[in-house]
Chain A
Amino acid sequence: MRLFRNKQEYNPSDGDSVIAACRKGNARAQRALVELYYGYVMSIALRYSSGTMDAEEILNDAFLKVFTNLHKYDDQQPFRAWLRSITVNTAIDAFRKRTLVEERLLPLEAAAGIDFDENVIRDLSAEEILKLVQSLSPVYRMVFTLYAIEGYSHKEIAVKLGISEGTSKSNLRDARLRLQQKMAKNNLIPESAYELKNLRTHEE
């Protein structure tokens, strides 16, 4: 006979019951919550990081915030949306910690425009596109992902990243161009302005 019964029971595949049990302090449910949403959080974290290690860091921080603030979660809104916003904000916090202000503000030389064939995207797998996004500079990656994937406005991006709207717009334009170049030339387009200049010289 167990003197103290375990906390609220739950269905491991039912997110709502898992969340309710987590709120009651059920340790097994807390693990189940990680299992349920690990893949989802990791896929978001990978878009904002250059590799798996950085993404794991973002994922850990995101889950920590989730469990710490689970009592604040409003049952009326979808949990995935709440989880997603926590993960994105965590990624932004990591970017702001790692990236110096000067680097965020330094204008990168604009990529040369190319004629982009939209079929290229169709031929690329999601993993390859992810790799291309991860190969962008942190500023480009952050602005592009926040705008194109998450749907934030330039004004919101400017506030979140501590840059101006103009910088956000120019970074977005350049990020697109670089991605298109990478897709077209299989990631042969260099990232830095110096390398771009050398490449053009070589091509000429």
Chain B
Amino acid sequence: MKNEDFDEAIRNKLEGLEQKYSQADIDKTVDQLRRRGAFSPRGFSGSLLLYTVAAAAVLVGVFWSVLQLTDSAKVAHSPAAPASEISTPQVEVTIPADTLPEQAKTVQPEVAAPKAGFSMPSHPATVMFREESQSKSLSSEDVAMEVASHKREDAVLLNKIIPEIQHPADENLQHPENIAENKAFTDTVRLPSEAGQWIQTLADTASTSKVISQDKDSYAKESAAAISGSPAEGNNNPAAAGVVQVAGGEVVDGKQSSPGHQGGNISGSILIGGGFEYARSGVGAGVDLGVKLPKRLILNAGLRYVSLNDELFADKDAFDRHDTGKINHHFNDQLMHHDHIRDIVIHSQLLQVPLSIGYSIPLKKGYSFTFSLGTDLDVFLSQRLTFSQPPDSIRPPHGDLRDKGKAVLFNNMVITGSVEKEYKRFVFSVSPFIRPQLQQVFYKPKELDFGIALRVYFRPGL
């Protein structure tokens, strides 16, 4: 026999050999390949990461746009301080005359010399007046008219004095002590700053009311002084001296800041946000609420949706071997008469309430590091089981079962180390974590879970 013929005969025999194998052989090979890292992580792909990053970028962009629109209004809110705070000394700021808009006239004694009976302030604090009114002889009635006519946002308001001025009843003049005793009222002087900010002043006009005397001239003098905010004779009220006082928090760069806003570490501030997480067990997305407590502590709570990695089983035997605790009893009943099914896939979805408490360490340039301990409470579990029938089966080729599983509320611990960067009202957080199981549950893998979370928080302005 020729060598070529011999080779060909051997080749034909061996090429026609169909190697027999079982599902156990496949399982064994697949397990070995998975251990050697041949397969990509279940439920994760590069395209998924790309979409998630794009979605996060869109989210940040929307927040940024909203923030820009909000900032463009430039409205500072400062609640009117209650009367009890009047006696609390606040920051005193003197507004130079040259920073004020044109319509604000610096009242100089030589420019608008009043008629007799009216003393002009020597302080450069300005008051809004119509030009034509400056040369008027200011009687008590004139003052009332001036106040009434200048009743607008940037005008001087005298809430309590106006009625007294407008109706300078003789009995009131005769009984000034009535006013002094009963009228602890508030003067508010609103002066426009160069940036258009409103600054409110508080004045203890109880002392002002005391000087309202029966003397009309002195009454007018004191009233005018109260309007102008300048010190009347014998009046020790610093506010009346024209010093602008600010109610509430600090005045920083002309802006009225909220009590809770001071960098990233003021206790009581709230953070609202959300983000994504990628873990060995699956992927998730959710919303979070963070509350900053005293002593750099942060309390976090949220709501998260998690898609766990698929569980794959070659056949019913493999599925039964895995489900030794018969925990999947809701599926066991449905699979009772399906002994020959193959390619069983279980997909689990979780609804979780993550809770954690952390300690934040501020770093430079707006960065901070937070170490947190917490847990993910599993509040809802939904499972979907799909399988296929053997080719010779008379049943439909594919099956699809869905059921709610019994979620175990408290089963793990989460240890997180976050790096955060604060920028204006946003906080960007990158949080690698490990998640050991404190209690094994049938819908989560036994191995130590770990991953990374990306979150964006927004600090609402108050």
A27 touching B19, Cβ below 8 Å: no
Please classify the interface of chain B as helix (H, G, I), strand (E, B), loop, or mixed, using the class held by over half of its residues: mixed
Mask of B15-56 contacts with A, CB within 8 angstroms, 1/0: 111111100011001101100101110111111100000000
Stretch at the interface among A31-39, A91-99, A104-112, A153-161: A31-39
Task: Name the residue in A35, A47, A68, A127 with the highest tally of chain B Cβ atoms < 10 Å from its Cβ.
Answer: A35
Q: Using Cβ atoms and an 8 Å threshold, which residues of chain A touch B13?
A: 121, 124-126, 129
| B123 in contact (CB, < 8 A) | no
B29 x A60 contact (CB < 8 A): yes
B283 beta carbon closer than 8 Å to chain A: yes
Contact B305 A129 (CB under 8 A): no
Contact of A38 among B6, B26, B36, B349 (CB under 8 A): B26
- What is the distance, in angstroms, from B151's C-beta to the closest C-beta of chain A? 57
Partner of B29, one of A34, A46, A176: A34
Are the CB atoms of B343 and A67 closer together than 8 Å? no
On whether the beta carbons of B11 and A149 are closer than 8 Å, the reply is: yes
Asked if A189 lies at the interface with its beta carbon under 8 angstroms from chain B, I say: no
Determine whether the beta carbon of A25 is less than 8 Å from that of B10: no
| A188 CB to nearest chain B CB (Å) | 19
Interface pair A67/B10, CB less than 8 Å apart: no
A2-B347, A116-B1, A126-B17 known; A27+B310 contact, CB < 8 A: yes
B415: chain A residues at CB < 8 Å are none
Identify which of B11, B32, B285, B343 contacts A148 (C-beta below 8 A). B11
Contact A39 B45 (CB under 8 A): no
B334 on the interface (CB 8 Å rule)?
no
The residues in A between 92 and 151 inclusive whose CB is less than 8 angstroms from any CB of B are: 116-118, 121-122, 124-127, 129-130, 133, 147-149
Contacts of B15 in A (CB 8 A): 149
Number of interface residues of B (CB under 8 A): 45
How many chain A residues have a CB neighbour from B under 8 Å?
47
A38-B21, A46-B19, A126-B13 known; A60 vs B32 contact (CB < 8 Å): yes
Q: Interface readout for A9-46 with B: 1 if CB under 8 Å, 0 if not?
A: 00010000000000011011011101100111011001
Known contacts: A4-B283, A63-B38. The answer to whether A149 contacts B33 by CB under 8 A is: no
- The chain A residue with its CB closest to the CB of B15 is A149
- Assess whether A67 is in contact with B39, with CB atoms less than 8 Å apart: yes
Nearest Cβ in chain A — how far from B79, in angstroms? 42
B299 at the interface (CB under 8 A from A): no
Chain A stretch 53-92: residues in CB contact (< 8 A) with chain B: 56, 59-60, 63-64, 67-68
CA of A6 to CA of B47 in the docked complex: distance in angstroms? 11
B9 interface residue (CB < 8 Å to A): yes
Judged by a CB distance under 8 angstroms, whether A171 is at the interface is no
Q: For B48, what are the chain A residues with a Cβ–Cβ distance below 8 Å?
A: 4
- Cβ of B5 and Cβ of A30 under 8 Å apart? no
CB distance from A197 to the nearest CB of B (A): 25
A116-B6 contact, Cβ under 8 Å, with A39-B21, A121-B13: yes
In the assembled complex, A168 has its CB within 8 A of some CB on chain B: no
Q: How far is the CA of A153 from the CA of B344 in the complex (A)?
A: 46
Considering the complex, give the chain A residue whose CB is closest to the CB of B9: A121
Q: For residue A97, give the distance in angstroms from its CB to the closest CB of chain B.
A: 17
| In contact, B20 and A30 (Cβ under 8 angstroms) | no
Whole-angstrom distance between the alpha carbons of A67 and B305 in the complex?
A: 31
Structural contact, A34 and B33, CB atoms closer than 8 A:
yes
A125 / chain B contacts, CB cutoff of 8 Å: 13
**Known interface pairs A25-B44, A176-B3. Does A129 touch B10 (Cβ–Cβ under 8 Å)?**
yes
Residue of B nearest to A42 (CB): B19
Would you mind naming 10 contact pairs between A and B with Cβ atoms under 8 Å apart?
Answer: A2-B347, A3-B285, A3-B305, A4-B43, A6-B310, A31-B343, A43-B18, A60-B29, A67-B39, A148-B10
Which 3 A-B pairs give the minimum distances between C-beta atoms?
Answer: A148-B7, A126-B17, A25-B40
Q: A24-B45, A30-B38, A67-B33 are in contact. List 4 more A-B contacts (CB 8 A).
A: A38-B29, A39-B18, A39-B19, A63-B33
